[in-house]
């Protein structure tokens, strides 16, 4: 009916309507397609698991309205050989600002929404529970308002920008313990803790004195190198150990004292989100010379001492457990009961008291299996079954049993490790577990030394001595990438894929630290916590496992700090694929080189280095340094 009318008014109305619709559609495109929000929060409000998020974040992966956003897995793979060209997204949406600290597999909102039935008394709600593919955030995590480029190490050990972690409740709650203090735009860390108000350095010296280490040096002339700090707070204990050439895996859950691990990593101190709950920690047996708990609020007597037995699995022969808690010194009835029961339990575990003084007791684990063999039949806890692999950790339930030593460790009465730093390049005794020769180990060390030198040459226009601090090797193999960084003022989280050779024990034997992980899932860390990621064939591996490479790239972006770097080392088709997503992820190319530049045996590998741009939501991100 309207089509037959020719008066000017109708034409004007029609033109006006078309213009209005065009402008409206254009607004939607800018609003949802751009990462620069125009509202006060600067990000589109995309609900977790909502249709709008799945549509915007997943449609380019093959999702559509009919399947309610479920992703077609075949479309999530890129062809490494046949050269198929896939749809490239113009952009990724930005997650809502309230998700600026999202940890996908440790998200309590997910637990509530999925109505998971978890035993709170066993800390299951602090363990990993990952979203299904259709419930993942396919969006970029924004920085908090006012975010600044982090303060550089070593200054960062003692102060961080408050805007980067805008949580000050710990400063008020622990004000009498000198954990942290708010001073203007910064949060400062005096080095205190629940049981070392006067400084971690004095406390560490007192532990060394209790153990009669020469000159009160905690590293014991290089024989004590790797430490596990359970319930670490803001990781001042581990931070102050670094100056003694001791590296600590500082461990805490994302619990009521939220952001402890986030503070630790912002400071440049090695740390990991984890909990002593129902599953083994992601570290192999005999990894640490010292475990430490300073008022860590753990019920060590629960479930037949299963948590103490997990520490026992992780300690090396002759390793120590330093325990600072009221049970070790208080005289009230309940503390005395706990102390008596703990003493009885550890005695049956063959631990002995190395020293007990003031508020701290230090137990020592035996050097051999002799004590275990001499126990009365039926003594609890029992020895673990002979078919139990103490190094198998990913998704493995803890058991209340003692892991005896290997024949080698029993025979040599210890781990047979060289003191630090010699152990970094000495062939680890456990090489034989993999059928690797000393020559293979030495060759691997040499190859990665050359590769890392080449990486730094390629990065040299962009970095100086203190540009990067927190590094992650996403596929660490024997840890030679991390070993090659010894003379740089950095530390590396060495990640070993859960479905490959469990070489993480070689990495710990070298005096380095790391974790087992499955890269089809998100890593247990806060956003913006690593300065450099090393991705050696990790993207190729993901595709072979039928997992989404797009999800992996988004996860890498989540972990990476603004201005941080990723070193991809992979085949040319993989690099070409990654290049499609540079604009969507707001990454820019730093360098590209083939392997011949470092005389590499894998001559067809391409080295591709990107840097994460600084992108904003509502407030400017200022480089403070």
Q: What are phi and psi of 212, to 5 degrees?
A: 60, 35
Is the pTM higher than 0.95? The answer reads no
Structure confidence at residue 465 as a pLDDT band (50, 70, 90): confident
CA distance 473 to 512: 12
Q: What is the pLDDT of residue 113?
A: 82
Q: What is the pLDDT of residue 624?
A: 39
Give the pairing of strands 491-497 and 470-473: parallel
Q: What is the pLDDT of residue 577?
A: 95
- Tell whether the model's pLDDT for residue 460 goes beyond 70: yes
- Tell whether the model's pLDDT for residue 218 goes beyond 50: yes
Catalogue all structural domains in the chain, each as residue range(s) with its CATH number: 197-414 (3.40.50.150), 424-623 (3.40.50.150)
Regarding predicted confidence, which is higher, 549 or 9? Answer: 549
Q: What is the pLDDT of residue 166?
A: 86
DSSP-H helix ranges across 270-419: 302-314, 333-348, 370-374, 407-412
Regarding predicted confidence, which is higher, 603 or 446? Answer: 446
**106 contact partners, CB below 8 Å, separation of at least 6:** 126, 128, 129, 254, 273, 524
CA distance 241 to 301: 29
Question: How far separated are the first and last CA of the chain, in Å rounded?
Answer: 68
Tens-digit pLDDT profile for residues 83-139: 445 556 667 999 988 889 999 999 988 888 888 889 988 999 999 999 988 888 889
- Show the beta-strand stretches assigned E in 478-528: 491-497, 513-517
- Tell whether the model's pLDDT for residue 42 goes beyond 60: no
- Tell whether the model's pLDDT for residue 37 goes beyond 60: no
Closest CA to 287 of 476, 515, 478, 482: 515
């Amino acid at each position: 009916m309207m089509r037959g009318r020719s008066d000017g008014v109708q034409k004007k109305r029609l033109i006006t309507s078309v213009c209005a619709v065009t402008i409206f559609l254009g607004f939607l495109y800018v609003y949802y397609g751009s990462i620069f929000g125009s509202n006060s929060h600067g990000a589109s409000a995309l609900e977790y698991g909502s249709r709008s998020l799945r549509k915007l974040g997943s449609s380019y992966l093959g999702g559509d309205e009919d399947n309610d956003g479920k992703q077609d897995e075949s479309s999530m793979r890129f062809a490494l050989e046949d050269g198929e060209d896939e749809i490239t997204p113009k952009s990724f949406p930005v997650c809502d600002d309230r998700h600026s600290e999202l940890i996908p597999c440790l998200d309590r909102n997910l637990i509530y929404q999925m109505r998971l039935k978890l035993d709170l008394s066993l800390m299951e709600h602090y363990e990993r529970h990952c979203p299904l593919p259709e419930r993942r955030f396919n969006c970029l995590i924004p920085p908090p308002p006012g975010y600044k480029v982090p303060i550089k190490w070593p200054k960062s050990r003692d102060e961080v920008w408050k805007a980067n972690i805008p949580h000050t409740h710990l400063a008020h709650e622990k004000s009498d313990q000198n954990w942290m203090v708010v001073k203007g735009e910064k949060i400062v860390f005096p080095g205190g803790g629940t049981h070392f108000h006067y400084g971690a350095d004095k406390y560490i010296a007192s532990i060394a004195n209790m153990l009669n280490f020469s000159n009160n040096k905690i590293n014991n002339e290089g024989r004590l190198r790797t430490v596990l700090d359970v319930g670490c707070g803001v990781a001042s204990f581990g931070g102050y150990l670094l100056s003694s050439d001791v590296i600590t895996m500082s461990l805490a859950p994302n619990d009521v004292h939220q952001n402890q691990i986030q503070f630790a990593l912002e400071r440049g101190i090695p740390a990991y989100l984890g909990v002593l709950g129902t599953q083994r920690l992601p570290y192999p047996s005999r990894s640490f010379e010292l475990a430490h708990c300073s008022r860590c609020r753990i019920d060590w007597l629960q479930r037949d001492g299963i948590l103490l037995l997990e520490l026992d699995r992780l300690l090396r022969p002759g390793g120590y457990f330093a325990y600072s808690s009221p049970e070790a010194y208080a005289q009230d009835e309940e503390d005395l009961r706990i102390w008596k029961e703990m003493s009885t339990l550890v005695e049956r575990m063959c631990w002995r008291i190395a020293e007990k003084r003031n508020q701290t007791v230090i137990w020592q684990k035996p050097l051999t299996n002799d004590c275990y063999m001499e126990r009365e039949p039926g003594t609890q806890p029992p020895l673990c079954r002979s078919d139990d692999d103490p190094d198998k950790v990913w998704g493995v339930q803890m058991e209340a049993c003692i892991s005896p030593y290997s024949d080698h460790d029993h025979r040599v009465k210890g781990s047979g490790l060289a003191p630090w730093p010699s152990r970094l390049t000495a062939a680890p005794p456990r090489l034989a577990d993999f059928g690797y020769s000393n020559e293979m180990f030495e060759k691997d060390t040499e190859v990665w030394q050359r590769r890392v030198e080449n990486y730094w040459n390629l990065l040299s226009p962009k970095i100086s001595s203190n540009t990067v601090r927190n590094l992650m090797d996403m596929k660490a193999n024997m840890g030679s990438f991390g070993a090659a960084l010894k003379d740089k003022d950095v530390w590396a989280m060495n990640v070993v894929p859960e479905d490959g050779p469990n070489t993480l024990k070689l990495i710990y034997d070298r005096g380095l630290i790391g974790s087992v992980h499955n890269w089809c899932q998100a890593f247990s860390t806060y956003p913006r916590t690593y300065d450099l990621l090393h991705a050696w064939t990790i993207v190729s591996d993901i595709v072979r496992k039928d997992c989404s490479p797009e999800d992996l790239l988004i996860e890498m972006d989540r972990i990476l700090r603004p201005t941080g770097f990723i070193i991809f080392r992979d085949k040319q088709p993989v690099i070409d694929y990654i290049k499609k997503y540079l604009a969507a992820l707001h990454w820019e190319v730093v360098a590209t080189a083939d392997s011949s530049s470092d005389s590499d045996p894998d001559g067809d590998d391409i080295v591709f280095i990107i840097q994460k741009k600084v992108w904003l939501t509502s407030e400017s991100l200022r480089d403070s340094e």
